Structure 1
Amino acid sequence: MSIQVDVQLRRGAFALDAAFEAGPGLTALFGRSGSGKTTLIDLIAGLARPDRGRIVADGMVLIDTAARIFLPPHRRRVGVVFQDARLFPHLSVRGNLRYGRAFARRPRDPETLDAVTGMLGIGHLLDRQPVGLSGGERQRVAIGRALLAGPRLLLMDEPLAALDDARKAEILPYIERLRDEAGVPIVYVSHAVSEVARLATTVVVLETGRVAAAGPAEAILRRADLVPVHEAEAGALLDMVVAATDPQTGLTHLTGAAGRLQVPGLSWPPGTRLRVRIPARDVLVAIEPPRGLSARNVLSGTVCGLTQAGAEMAVEIDCRGARIVARLTAAAVRELDLATGRPVYAIVKSAAFDPAGIGLMRPVVAI
C-alpha cells in the first residue's frame, strides 16, 4: 500500500507545489504553521481541488487533472480524523462506530468491530455516551469510526493538538498499534517533533508550500537544517531492544547496534523492540574515553558528518551502523579538532531521555 502525491495549488499569496511518495506505515507531514500541511490533507481527502496534479492511494487514482479525474470525497474511501473527535452526541460509542460502517455501505462484521475496539482499547466504552468520555477516549472512538468505514487511506490532522500531556500519553500507544497492525497507510499532520519521532515511518518536511525533504524518519529527523521550528530538537532515532530492568537502580537496560543504553525504568518486558529518540542537544562529545562522569551512557563511534548553522554545528557520529547526532558550538568543534573519520565518544545522561520519545516498534500485521 502506498500513496503518491504531486499537486499544485494557489490560494491568494500562498502557493503549494508538493510532490512525494510514501509506502506502508505512518507518513508525517511536518513543518511550521502555514507550510501547507492541512492544505495537503484537504486535497487528499477531496475537500479541495488542486490547480494541477495527481494523487494515487493504494493504486486508486483519486485525482488526475490531466485526465479530468476527480473522485468525490464519499467515493475515495479515505478516513479523516480531525483535532476534535466530532462524534455524534446523540449516539452511543457503539452507534458512532456503526455509523462508520453504515456510511461506507459495508455489512456489519462483529469480528471486525471486535478487532478494532480491541486494538484501540475501547470495548468497555461501547454503551457510553460521548459526553462522558475523556479527550483521549473520544479520539480513539473517532479513529475506530474511521477504520470501520474500510478506508484505503487514513488522514490524521493533528489529532493530539487539543489534548493535554496526560491524554497524549494515553493515546500514543494506540496510534502505534494502528500504524503497525491496521494495514492502512496513514498520513499524519503534526508540528511536534516528539510525536513525529515516535510515530513516523516516513517524514515529509514542508516549508512555505514546498517539500524541503522526504525520507525515512531516522534520516530526516537527525538533520537540524530540516526542523527549523524546533532546531534544537533534531536528533537520532535508535532501534533498541529491552534487555532488563534493574530493580535496585530503577534503570532499564537497552541493547542495539549503537551499543547499550540505560534509561529511566520502562514497563515493557525483555525482548520488546523500541524506537528511542536522543535529541542532539542532549549529546556530549569526547575525543578520549570519559572518566569520572555521572552520565550512564557512553557510545563509541566515528564522526561521519559535520553541518554548520551559524555559531553551531551538527556532528553526526556513526556508532557501529547506527547514527547519533550532537549539537555543538562551532568553537567546540574546532577545539576538539573534529573531522570526518575521527574516533569519538557520544555521551548521554540517563535522565535526559524523555518517555514521550520512546515508543514501540512492531512487525506490520494487518487485522
Structure 2
Amino acid sequence: MIAFHVRAQRDAFVLDFGARSEARALAVEGPSGAGKTTLLLALAGLAPATSVRFQIDDDVIVDTDAGCSPPPHRRRIGFIFQDARLFPHLTVADNLAFGARYAPRPIAVEAALDLVDLRGFGHRWPQSLSGGEARRVAIARALCMDPRILFLDEPFAGLDAERRSALTPYLKRLRDETTIPLILVSHDPRDIATLAQDRVGLRDGRNASVARPPLR
C-alpha cells in the first residue's frame, strides 16, 4: 500500500494532492506544470512543503504534522531523475557507492550493475556512457541504497524510440522482480501504459479524475 498527501507552495502555485493505492507501481499522471516533480521532491524532502504525510504499508516515512520529518538520506527513497545526474568526477562504481552510504543493507555495486546488464562498467566514467547506459547506471545507484520505494520522474524523457525500447525492460524488471514499490510521474500515456498498475490524475496541483488501466 502506498499512501501520501502533500501541501506545498512555490510562488503562486499551490499543491494540495494525495493518493492511496494497493498497487506496487503507481503513476501520477498530469501535464507539464501540474506539480508532479514538486510532489516527488516534497515527499523526498528535497523541496520545502507545508505538510507531508507518506506511508508505505505500515511504515510511516514522513508525517510532518506529527513531528516526523527525517532528512532526505534517512527516508530511503531512490530517486531516478529525468536526467541521470551522475557525478562526473566519480567513476560508475563510485557513483553507486555514493548512493549506498546511508543504506542499512546496501546492495553490492557489481550486483546492482548486474541487474541493469552493465557488469564490468564500474571503472567507466559518466561522460563515456550513452544516454541509455547513464539512465541504467542511475537505476543501479538508486538500488544500491536499499530503498523503501523508487521515484521515477519522467523516466523516458528525452529518449528516442530506440533508447526508450532499450530502457523499458529494466524498468519492468524493477517493477516485477523486486519487492520495491515505485511511484512514476509522467505526462506521457506510453510511460503509464508500460509501467503502471494504478494511476491518479494531477491537474493544477489538485486531484483529477483519470481512467484507470487494468492491472498488469
Matched, 1:203 2:199: yes
Cα shift at 1:106: 4.4
Amino acid corresponding to residue 86 of structure 2 in structure 1: L
Counterpart for residue 81 of structure 1: 80
Matched, 1:147 2:146: no
Cα shift at 1:148: 0.6
Cα shift at 1:3: 2.0
Larger Rg: 1
Distance 1:177 1:207, change over 3 A: same
TM-score, normalisation: structure 2: 0.89
Alignment map for 1:334-345 (pairs within 5 Å):
none
Amino acid corresponding to residue 118 of structure 1 in structure 2: D
Matched, 1:91 2:90: yes
Cα shift at 1:176: 0.6
Cα shift at 1:187: 0.9
Matched, 1:188 2:184: yes
1:257-296 CA distance string (max 9 Å, x none): xxxxxxxxxxxxxxxxxxxxxxxxxxxxxxxxxxxxxxxx
RCO (CA 8 Å, sep 6+): is it higher in 1 or 2? 2
Alignment map for 1:1-367 (pairs within 5 Å):
2-101=1-100, 103-106=101-104, 110=108, 113-213=109-209, 216-218=212-214
**Residue aligned with 2:141, SS:** helix
> CA–CA distance in 2 between the matches of 1:165 and 1:141?
19
**Residue aligned with 2:89, SS:** coil
> CA–CA distance in 2 between the matches of 1:91 and 1:40?
29
> CA–CA distance in 2 between the matches of 1:109 and 1:143?
12
Distance 1:214 1:180, change over 3 A: farther
**Residue aligned with 1:116, SS:** helix
Q: How many residues align?
A: 216
Cα shift at 1:207: 1.1
Cα shift at 1:100: 1.8
Amino acid corresponding to residue 98 of structure 1 in structure 2: A
TM-score, normalisation: structure 1: 0.55
> CA–CA distance in 1 between the matches of 2:64 and 2:115?
38
Cα shift at 1:107: 6.2
User: Structure 2: which 5+ residue stretches go unaligned?
Assistant: none
> CA–CA distance in 2 between the matches of 1:126 and 1:194?
32
**Residue aligned with 2:214, SS:** helix
1:65-97 CA distance string (max 9 Å, x none): 321221111110111111111112222222222
Calculate percent identity across the aligned residue pairs.
42
Cα shift at 1:216: 4.6
Amino acid corresponding to residue 48 of structure 1 in structure 2: A
Distance 1:19 1:107, change over 3 A: closer
1:160-215 CA distance string (max 9 Å, x none): 21222221111011101111112111111111111111111111111111111368
